Amino acid sequence: MRYRTTIAAWLVVTATFGCAQAADPRYPDWPCAQAKVPEISLAAVWAGPPLDDVAGKWKEDATVGSLVAKLAARRTPLEEAQQAITDYLKGAADKTRSGKLLFSGLFDTLNGQRSQVMNGLERITRKQREAADKIRADTIALQALQGEASRDQAKVDELSNVLVWQTRIFEDRHRVIKFVCEVPTAIDQRLFALGRAIQQEIE
Amino acid sequence: MKTDGLRMWDRCLLLGMTAWLGMATPAAAYIAYVSNEKSNTVTVIDTSSWTVTKTIKVGQRPRGIEFTRDGKFVFVAVGDDDSIQVIDVAKQEVVDTLPSGPDPELFALDAEGKILYVANENDNTVTIIDVEKRTRLGEIQVGVEPEGMAISPDGKTLINTSETTNMAHFIDTATRQIVANVLVDARPRFVEFKRDNSEVWISSEIGGTVSIIDPAKRTVIDKITFNIPGLRSEAIQPVGISMTKDGKTAFIALGPANRVAVVDTATRKVTKYLLVGQRVWHLAFTPDEKYLMVTNGVSNDVSVIDVAAQKVIKTIQVGELPWGITIAAP
């Protein structure tokens, strides 16, 4: 039983961290299979008129500001968001300018959210690395305790209990990372779809 | 009288020709099969109307996809089911399975269409399959995370790339031994031979380049780089490469740059960037080379490029995470 704990802990750490070396030397803490693109470039998602003249101005317009918040939220279904864009731009006096303001706001907001998620992923990867080191060290310590001639069973039990918990937390975090890796892509997808809807309206 | 008769014949022939041509136009339509990695389906597209005509349920995580040489079947690598499924084109359903290694991703069919070479992403091997007998002929050990696969036009060399080892492995198809390893930039994804066997092009997703290798000397002779104003260099991730039969023009899919680069193969310079959908990975020409279809994994669609005009003319919604594409005459 005790041996099983040490072997299991050891396996989890080597299996998850052994293979997960960063593929991109520029980003050693990036844990996802998708190659890291630190921020979305405007040219990747927007083929409409230049936005230079409206940079940052969307914040001054309360209607645009609240619409940006609504459209950026992933709980707003995409169809509903696209409809809101159509409705808003239909009533606008200067369709092109309003469309540009709206996209400018969505670009800033969603890019910001995406950066936060990516920073979080790298932070949690560093934490995982520390946890892996701790599990490795504790596994060695446990093996040493078990090998002693007059072994202290209470100590062995305590340490193997600690190891079980550490391993469980490590595995849970690993699963969460895999799941969260999908979020930056989901944001890219949303921004592109919203941008396309705006461009169609102002064309 | 004689001349009149001839003229009559001419007219009849002309009429007949026109009628025949008129009928031939719809027959020039092709069918495209697109693998959708996340929805575990294959989308069938009719290229005469650019519409989806069928969605076929397949195994888990379909990626590499290709027609058999006779156009009667489509092979699709279903990575999470550790096999290659065979779709009957007439029935539009999965009818058989070929044995690959764990997690097959991409594969190459030899010129006769009898032997299939499969890159198994998870166990660093290439599996060789006899297509008729549906049996495994052997395995070749390669680098870590094998993916790109291509056979030289003379059939003598198979090239496999390994994503983590960053190498192109040159394999002798007769002895099934690795005869050379060529180092390329980070995360090589796809291999394309020039039809005249003079060059091999290999894309590197993280390196952001395409290496051009002389297959005789087995050395890198040039590298294509990309620069799109206003776009971060990390977003330029070259994956799929398609070259016209005359070898003059190459189209390279640039992943999250959401663009396909058009490259003049003589100067090895990009002449144009075409804006397509999101995270473009793989591409395929229609057999007449009039159109190029590309898969956009994040926007879940396929873009159609008019090859002569070098313009995107259409976007078709498909399943989730479209990955590979293959096109043939029905």
> Looking at beta carbons, which residues of chain A come within 8 Å of B257?
44
Per the structure, the count of domains in chain B is 1
- Residue in A closest to B298 by C-alpha: A189
pLDDT at B26 over 80: no
CA dihedral (A37, A41, A43, A45) positive or negative: positive
pLDDT at B254 over 60: yes
| pTM higher than the cut 0.90 | no
Is A21:A31 a contact under the CB 8 Å cutoff?
no
pLDDT at B6 over 60: no
Per-residue confidence at A5, pLDDT binned at 50, 70, 90? Answer: low
Q: Model confidence over A153-176: pLDDT tens digits?
A: 999 999 999 999 999 999 999 999
pLDDT at B10 over 70: no
Note down the domain range covering B303: 239-330
Instruction: Give the number of A-B residue pairs with CB atoms closer than 8 Å.
Output: 56
pLDDT at A114 over 70: yes
The reported pLDDT for the residue numbered A40 is: 93
Verify whether the Cβ–Cβ distance A24 to B206 is below 8 Å.
yes
pLDDT at B289 over 80: yes
The reported pLDDT for the residue numbered B28 is: 58
State chain B's mean pLDDT as an integer. Answer: 91
Cα gap A14→A2, rounded to integer Å:
19
Cα gap B71→B116, rounded to integer Å:
15
Residue B288 falls inside a structural domain? yes
- More confident: B214 or B24: B214
Q: Is B244 in CB contact (< 8 Å) with chain A?
A: no
- List B298's β-bridge partners, or say none: none
End-to-end CA distance of chain B: 46
Verify whether the Cβ–Cβ distance B298 to A185 is below 8 Å.
yes
pLDDT at A191 over 90: yes
Distance from CA of B325 to the nearest CA of A (A): 20
Q: Model confidence over B191-221: pLDDT tens digits?
A: 999 999 999 999 999 999 999 999 999 999 9
> Span B167-171, mean pLDDT?
96
CA dihedral (A41, A46, A49, A54) positive or negative: negative
Q: Model confidence over B306-319: pLDDT tens digits?
A: 999 999 999 999 99
By percentage, how much of chain A surpasses pLDDT 70?
Answer: 89
CATH number at residue B287: 2.40.10.480
Q: Which of A99, A98, A118 is nearest to A40 (CA)?
A: A118
By percentage, how much of chain B surpasses pLDDT 90?
Answer: 87
Verify whether the Cβ–Cβ distance A44 to B229 is below 8 Å.
no
- Residue in B closest to A22 by C-alpha: B164
pLDDT at B27 over 80: no
Q: Model confidence over A65-82: pLDDT tens digits?
A: 999 999 999 999 999 999
CA dihedral (B241, B201, B258, A25) positive or negative: positive
- Distances B169 to B77, B100, B242 between C-alpha atoms, Å: 21, 19, 20
The reported pLDDT for the residue numbered A19 is: 43
Verify whether the Cβ–Cβ distance B256 to A44 is below 8 Å.
yes
Q: Where are the domains of chain A?
A: 52-202
Q: Which residue, chain included where needed, has tokens 């009039």? A: B290
Residue B190 falls inside a structural domain? no
The reported pLDDT for the residue numbered A203 is: 79
The reported pLDDT for the residue numbered B89 is: 97
Verify whether the Cβ–Cβ distance A35 to B231 is below 8 Å.
no
Is A184:A117 a contact under the CB 8 Å cutoff?
yes
Number of other CB atoms surrounding residue A176 within 10 Å: 12
Cα gap A189→B302, rounded to integer Å:
15
Q: Which helix (H) or strand (E) holds B51?
A: strand B51-57
Tokens standing for residue A146: 């078990």
pLDDT at A3 over 90: no
Residue B12 falls inside a structural domain? no
The reported pLDDT for the residue numbered A14 is: 60
Per-residue confidence at A139, pLDDT binned at 50, 70, 90? Answer: very high
The reported pLDDT for the residue numbered B101 is: 87
Q: Out of B164, B234, B258, whose CB is closest to A36?
A: B234
Q: Model confidence over B128-168: pLDDT tens digits?
A: 999 999 999 999 999 999 999 999 999 999 999 999 999 99
Residue B142 falls inside a structural domain? no
Cα gap B206→B236, rounded to integer Å:
8
pLDDT at B8 over 70: no
The reported pLDDT for the residue numbered A13 is: 61
Tokens standing for residue A166: 């550490």
Is B263:B271 a contact under the CB 8 Å cutoff?
yes
Instruction: Select the residue from A27, A41, A182, A191 to test the B interface by mutation, using most B Cβ atoms within 10 A.
Output: A41
The reported pLDDT for the residue numbered A9 is: 65
> Span B91-116, mean pLDDT?
94
SS3 at position B266: coil
Per-residue confidence at B252, pLDDT binned at 50, 70, 90? Answer: very high
Q: Out of B232, B255, B299, whose CB is closest to A41?
A: B232
Tokens standing for residue B265: 């193969």
pLDDT at A116 over 70: yes
Tokens standing for residue B104: 């097959």
Residue B297 falls inside a structural domain? yes
The reported pLDDT for the residue numbered A11 is: 62
- List B311's β-bridge partners, or say none: B306
Per-residue confidence at A4, pLDDT binned at 50, 70, 90? Answer: low
Q: Is B181 in CB contact (< 8 Å) with chain A?
A: no
The reported pLDDT for the residue numbered A23 is: 74
Distance from CA of B299 to the nearest CA of A (A): 6
Per-residue confidence at A15, pLDDT binned at 50, 70, 90? Answer: low
> Looking at beta carbons, which residues of chain B come within 8 Å of A43?
228-231
> Span A33-62, mean pLDDT?
92
